[in-house]
Structure 1
Amino acid sequence: MEGKTILIVGASSGIGKSIAEMAMAKGAKVISASRQNPNLSGVEHHTVDVLAEEINFSFIPETLDGVVYAPGSINLKPFHRLKIEDFQDDFQINVTGAIKVLQASFKALKKSDNASVILFSTVAAKLGMNFHSSIATSKGAIEGLAKSLAAEWSMHGIRVNVLSPSLTETPLAERLLANDDKKEASNKRHPIGRFGQPEDLAHMASLLLSDEAGWITGQIIGVDGGVGSLKP
């Protein structure tokens, strides 16, 4: 990734921050856009709220080699307790926010020799899990968006892929991993024997952002400890 310019939306914590750290370690210039400053040395940060109606994207440079859209939500409730507003809120942060960023970045991505876009889904969009109807709905939409853009943008040399994790230890997942009992139960649910860490996703993201992944596009990639496809 030496010399590449990568825009990471949601780099202030969790998976996004881990991707930013790894990208910089590999020689990339990282531009952060999020509500909170990731406070990482060398990162160019711009305060952006993707839920705002009007967003100033003037900070986007002339050329972008990669865009990572990492904001997310975990709103786990029985379907009958979810309000329409819950579905709308999840859709706004997971889908509408991504659309705003990608539309604003398109011209800059076209000018790269090998541009890469990374979006995030969830294993629940494929597997079907209790209490995940709202988040699975919005993440399912992200998968459809990514497939469509991968086809449409291929003529411009822009690759679009989705990482689909299972439970990963991030600030969003704090209450799901609040104590040792919950952590152990989650470990046991994963065939590989543990829940995820941000670095697990960052390693795959680093590959997809690099030239080594120049023939990979339109893929939904499970980084999930095997839970999405295995039943040992």
Structure 2
Amino acid sequence: MNFKNTTYIIMGGTTGMGLAAAIALKSEGANITVVGRNPLNCKKAEEILGQCSISMDGDATNPKTIKKAIQITHKTFGYITGLFHVAGGSGRKWGDGALDQITLEGWNKTMELNLTSLMLSNQAIINYFLEHKNPGTILNMGSVLGYSPSPKYFTTHAYAAAKSAIIGFSKSIAAYYAAHNIRVNVIAPSLFVTPMAQRAVKDDKILEFLKTKQPLDGGRPGVSEDINNAVLMFLHPDSKFITGQVLAVDGGWSISEGQYG
């Protein structure tokens, strides 16, 4: 796919699936700005992406971060084609878990990381598109846990609520802004090998469970590059007739029962 003369911001783009998407977009000719919380990861991403890219550190839950990213990106590359919001994270260490055990801090932090950060980036880029009176596209990162729970090994009810809310939020704004040719879609991965998923991918029982829960390609966890085709499809300007959609990239998770040993 030809992405020449396009520009994208990826919130949470310095590691994992966000960085994989940035590399894929860059290889097809796009200009890229990636944003991440860790300055060291930002430096590594800058080295990987090279020219026609910007890497900046910032917290996605701070409204100033996306505004700064938009300002710098527009000044450097011109009009911004779209946004891919990947930033989020587990709230386990703050107290997310089963509802009877969730702490208020765990709930609030999980919502802030996954839903508030996304609202802020979406709001800022929507305002940018409206200001410039041009089309634009947004792709938001959901999760199969937002609609396809797996209670034995993946019990984080605040996280599931946040990812479910991303779907409702994205569909709602997709409907509202469609008349402006602003498209909003969601991809929903299953268990992938990412920094957030280390607990699961290092657990032999969970890996055995995955052989029947996401059975495609040998029943393995996803790797970051597995989302790239979906990302490229949704973000490409030629996908101008697609909005308000949710696509699972899940190895069969949402249609498979999953067997416990």
Give TM-score scaled by structure 2 length. 0.81
Matched residues, percent identical? 25
Moved more, 147-156 or 112-121: 112-121
Cα 1:56–1:212, aligned 2, differ >3 Å: closer, same or farther?
closer
Return 5+ residue gaps in structure 1 as ranges: none
1:73 aligns with 2:97: no
Tell me what 1:98 maps to: 118
Mapped to 1, the partners of 2:184 and 2:66 lie a distance apart of: 24
Asked if the contact 1:14/1:171 (under 8 Å) is kept, the reply is yes
Asked if the contact 1:65/1:112 (under 8 Å) is kept, the reply is no
1:24 aligns with 2:48: no
**Letter aligned with residue 116 of structure 2:** T
Asked if the contact 2:63/2:120 (under 8 Å) is kept, the reply is no
Return 5+ residue gaps in structure 2 as ranges: none
**Letter aligned with residue 139 of structure 2:** I
Deviations 1:108-128, CA, capped at 9 Å, x for gaps:
334475421011111111112
1:15 aligns with 2:17: yes
Cα 1:162–1:53, aligned 2, differ >3 Å: closer, same or farther?
closer
1:147 aligns with 2:167: no
Asked if the contact 2:212/2:256 (under 8 Å) is kept, the reply is no
Tell me what 2:243 maps to: 217
> Which runs of structure 2 are paired with 1:41-120 in the superposition (5 Å)?
41-42=50-51, 43-52=53-62, 54-55=64-65, 57-60=67-70, 61=74, 63-74=79-90, 75=92, 77-110=97-130, 111=132, 114-120=135-141
Mapped to 2, the partners of 1:160 and 1:35 lie a distance apart of: 24
Alignment size in residue pairs: 232
**Letter aligned with residue 209 of structure 1:** L
Cα 1:124–1:154, aligned 2, differ >3 Å: closer, same or farther?
same
Mapped to 2, the partners of 1:194 and 1:56 lie a distance apart of: 34
Mapped to 1, the partners of 2:68 and 2:201 lie a distance apart of: 39
Give the helix-richer structure, 1 or 2.
Answer: 2
Tell me what 1:188 maps to: 212
Deviations 1:38-79, CA, capped at 9 Å, x for gaps:
233232022211233654723412621110110122336332
Deviations 1:109-148, CA, capped at 9 Å, x for gaps:
3447542101111111111232131111111111111011
Pairing partner for 2:147 from 110, 126, 135: 126
Aligned with 1:77: secondary structure? Answer: coil
1:168 aligns with 2:192: yes
Moved more, 31-40 or 143-152: 31-40
Mapped to 1, the partners of 2:134 and 2:193 lie a distance apart of: 34
Aligned with 2:211: secondary structure? Answer: helix
Mapped to 1, the partners of 2:133 and 2:197 lie a distance apart of: 35
**Letter aligned with residue 198 of structure 1:** S
Cα RMSD (Å) = 2.1
Mapped to 1, the partners of 2:61 and 2:137 lie a distance apart of: 24
**Letter aligned with residue 128 of structure 2:** A
Where relative contact order (Cα < 8 A, 6+ residues apart) is larger, the structure is: 1
Tell me what 1:34 maps to: 36
